[in-house]
Homo-oligomer: A and B are copies of this chain.
Amino acid sequence: MTEFDHRPRHLDTKLRARAREVIPGGMYGHQNAGRLPAALPQFMAEGDGCRVRDVDGNDYIDFMCSYGPIILGHRHTVVDAAALDQQLRADCQNGPGEVMVELAERLVDVVDHADWAIFSKNGTDATTTCVTVARATTERRKVLVAEGAYHGAAPWCTPIINGVVPDDRAHLLHYQFNDLDSADKAASVAGDDLAAIVVSPFRHDARHEQELVDPNFARGLRSICDGAGAALILDDVRCGFRMAYGGSWEPIGVAPDLSAWSKAIANGYPLAAVLGNERFRAGAEKIYVTGSFWFSAAAMAAGLATVDTLGSESALAKIERAGARLRDGLAAQARGHGVEIRQTGPPQMPLLTFAGDDEKFTLASEWTDVAARRGAYFHPWHNWFLSAAHTDADIDEALLATDEAFAAVRKALDHR
């Protein structure tokens, strides 16, 4: 234990040991804390606004927002009330509730490019359905994806290919994000078999600096798809509603044909959506996708309340303001400690990296570890998320933690 331990910590040791008995590796997937700095907990007990508490009773100001879903804050009164009201009447039934139609209408209204919606449960459901709709519509096979981009964890897209057969990815071709030439070349290889180009609103690959989209690149992809009769698929699963009230590329004026949504659209309730335009409606009618809980009403009621709250409360401005205040504070602290950093991505979904850090993110991990011990929950190599519940006071309190984190990094650098 170091000088930064201001409170007793137990690091959920016993629970992690129990988990190793009955869960492969003790945990799996993106929330596996075994890969994270020691001070970050594996098991969480509570959330409220931008504050979370782990099972040992340690509190944190939360800058991961459950890896994206929490956009209005944990335990949001309006959203939770809407979900509970629906739950008390009906959730999983023999058919959807009226709220499915209302939510589809609202999304079609709010998102410019959208004429229809298909709901599901996982972001991966949404990206996979987009590809299926594109293939059903175009009757072609090839799909372009950016090298290193994350579009879900199904066999065709999971970043770790154990258990995946090459056939699952037989028709994927790769381009480099923001490199239109590379996309042009990949499209040429696909030729008249090009079904779709899949792209994220900005480059937010884990373990990489983030990169905002070049509008000319986005327009270029749109142009390739128009020329080839292929679908432009925007994977808005991670960014949706944090970048814009509407699709994340509305501000740059580039409309996808299909977009994939999940994470924040219901403030933590399990929901995903594909939004599409008229050209792809017939293809969407031809495919068969479904799930036992895809039509459950409570998550849709939460989604409707989330979308309406985001629209009426200037939530996006709050999120952006909080992110900017954090970014400014971190920049000043880094200068003060003489630590060279890079802050990339939009302020709503920032990432902090350290000049001279290694492939293991040793400096970022030290920084994250100390910040966690002081009560601020960040991540060393995955982008963070701000929410509308982060006030100026929360940011300023978190900056007390990050100041100690920068001091620790300074010390580590001095001992190199």
Residues of A whose CB lies within 8 Å of any CB of B are 15, 18-19, 21-25, 27-31, 33, 41-47, 52, 54-55, 62, 64, 66-70, 74-75, 80, 84, 87-98, 100-101, 104-105, 108, 115-118, 120-125, 128, 131-137, 141, 153-156, 158-160, 162-165, 167-168, 170-171, 237, 262-263, 268-270, 276, 281, 283-296, 299, 377
Contacts and interface: CB of A to CB of B under 8 A. Distances in A.
Nearest to A94: B64
Contacts of A160: 286-288
A277 to B, nearest CB: 12
8 contacts: A24-B118, A29-B288, A43-B100, A64-B94, A66-B94, A131-B163, A135-B163, A135-B165
Contacts of A270: 92, 121, 270, 292-293, 296, 299
Given A23-B116, A101-B15, A292-B123, A43 B167 contact: no
A306 to B, nearest CB: 12
A44 B168 contact: no
Which 6 pairs across A and B sit closest by C-beta, in order of nearness? A29-B290, A136-B163, A160-B288, A270-B293, A132-B163, A92-B268
A263 B19 CA distance: 24
A48 to B, nearest CB: 9
A23 B291 contact: no
A94 B68 CA distance: 9
